[in-house]
Amino acid sequence: ALGFSHYTSPYRYPPLAALLALPLLGLPDRGIGMWMVLQAACALLTAETLTRSFGSSTPAIRIVIRLGVGFFTPFLTSLYAGQINPLVTWLAALAIWLIAHGREGRGGFLLGLSLMLKPLAMGIAVLLLWEGRWKALAGLLLGAALALGISVLTFGSPALGFLGVSLPGTGSAYPPAQNLPSLAIRWGTHHPYGFALADVPEVARGTGLALAGLLIFLTLIGLGRPGAPRGLFKIRAAWVLTATFLANPGTWYHHGTVLSVGLAGLLNRACQRSRWWQAILAASVSAIALWGVAWHAFIGWTPLLDLATLGALGMWILLAREREDE
């Protein structure tokens, strides 16, 4: 839209993002700068929203959350790549905050807008359905329908092209693909980015999908009986977001902006936890950050290529424990 050639099919995602970019078409160079400023502002707004949502009354903890989320490497990577992920994540964070405070219709509406930009927070929609939060789901449908309707009126039927795009298959060996199915492929298939234990593509794909399925199964078991909301919604939403990040074979590193929700929740409780707990959190966040700034240097070393996935898995484990402690 801003003068670059297409490397994939137009409208790969829902068309609301194209609608936002439309006013920038006449300003290619300046438009790119305005887009970057918008996304940087959304990253900071996400940090502030999550600080208010999770932060305690202790000023030091609130500062830590602001800094931890604001400088979370997936946000910086998204800015570098010109991605819309910061805006998507901010809307999702606002939705979680509103739903947790009883304003479910408004929260669902914002979640619908977030999903129509890019479906990174689909896990929250699943959680709403699992817990039977019908008012929030109604708001979600309204927000999604409104965004889609305006986009179709603007662009016509091509705006519905995303409905025919093939869903992610079984992962990829390409290092930015950070998820459990892709981890299995990197270890079980010969590829140019590092070494593999074997070259058994079918086994690797099956193993990756099995790992993703197991993680989703454990998450659903941990959520408890369907139709019975319990515990702190914000922590449960963060846990589900982390699970879907890991299980989705189409997840790329820059989609990790959604992990900031879990990061805020964990930072809020870090001072009350054991040294081992704090060490796991530090190692997990460091692994995610290190991958973001140095993955090109890791080519040839398969264990290092999976650092972000392993870091997200560490966060999932800690969030599971926090859910149990509610």
Listed in sequence order, the DSSP H helices in 10-133 are 16-21, 28-54, 59-70, 73-81, 85-100, 104-117, 122-131
Q: What is the pLDDT of residue 4?
A: 47
Q: What is the pLDDT of residues 248-302, one digit of tens each?
A: 999 999 999 999 999 999 999 998 899 999 999 999 999 999 999 999 999 999 9
Q: What is the pLDDT of residue 164?
A: 63
Residues of the chain with pLDDT under 50: 1-4, 7
Q: What are phi and psi of 173, to 5 degrees?
A: -80, -15
Q: What is the pLDDT of residue 177?
A: 96
How many Cβ atoms are within 10 Å of 217's Cβ, its own excluded? Answer: 11
Length of the chain: 326
Q: Say if CB 271 and CB 61 are below 8 A apart.
A: yes
**Residue in this structure with the two tokens 């932060």, named with its chain if needed:** 55
Q: What is the pLDDT of residue 324?
A: 62
Q: What is the pLDDT of residue 268?
A: 94
**Residue in this structure with the two tokens 């058994």, named with its chain if needed:** 200
> Which residues on neighbouring strands pair with residue 191, listed in sequence order?
194
Q: What is the pLDDT of residue 180?
A: 98
Claim: this prediction has a pTM higher than 0.85 = yes
Structure tokens at 304: 């290092």
Q: What is the pLDDT of residue 1?
A: 41
DSSP secondary structure string for all residues of 211-244: HHHHHHHHHHHHH-STT---S-HHHHHHHHHHHH
User: E strands, 159-280, where?
Assistant: none
